Amino acid sequence: MILEKNTPAPEFDLFSTPDQRLKLSDFKGQRVILAFYPADWSPVCSDELSLFNESLKLFTEHKAVLLGISVDSKWSHMAFAQSRKLHFPLLADFEPKGLVSKQYGVYNEEEGESRRALFLIDEHGIIQWSYLSPDGINPGADGILEALESLDQSKNQ
């Protein structure tokens, strides 16, 4: 079951490069977009992450950072990010396989990979929006942007 709004986001500590790790708590005080996806190199994932890469400026305008997460290895992520010229971290939920995906309720046991899902976490570590995409469908960035705008509006009231 995917984690929903007003749920504290589970902490994680994952490789972002072969010799560097990132924790959710590293971003305390910032908004974080988590983009879980099934696999590096798949056509839909490539399109989705390329679109997010092009949307980074919009995310930044809403004071949000983007993190991609899949069960692929740190080495696969490094090659994939370089080939696609991605400017945001890809985190390896590799060992134990899918642990973070399971904590967020988006692990596909049958396929052994993350489902395509998005989360917006506020500055206090609370999930403010989540979305589980249908298999094989690129969710685009509109839902994230609407959630960010909604969060901006609620902060200004």
> Is 45 designated active site?
yes
Selected catalytic residue, list 3, 24, 45, 49: 45
Helix or strand run (H / E) with residue 91: strand 90-92
Angle at 44 between CA 114 and CA 15, to 5 degrees: 45
Query: Which residue type does 137 have?
Result: I
- Spatial distance between the Cα atoms of 18 and 74, rounded to a whole number of angstroms: 6
Q: Residue 133 in contact with residue 140, Cβ under 8 Å?
A: no
Q: How far is CA 7 from CA 16, 52, 130, 157, in A?
A: 25, 24, 10, 22
Q: Residue 7 in contact with residue 126, Cβ under 8 Å?
A: yes
Max CA-CA distance within the chain?
A: 45
Residue 71: which region, alpha, beta or left (left: phi > 0; alpha: psi -120 to 50)?
alpha
Residues annotated as catalytic (active site), given as ranges: 45
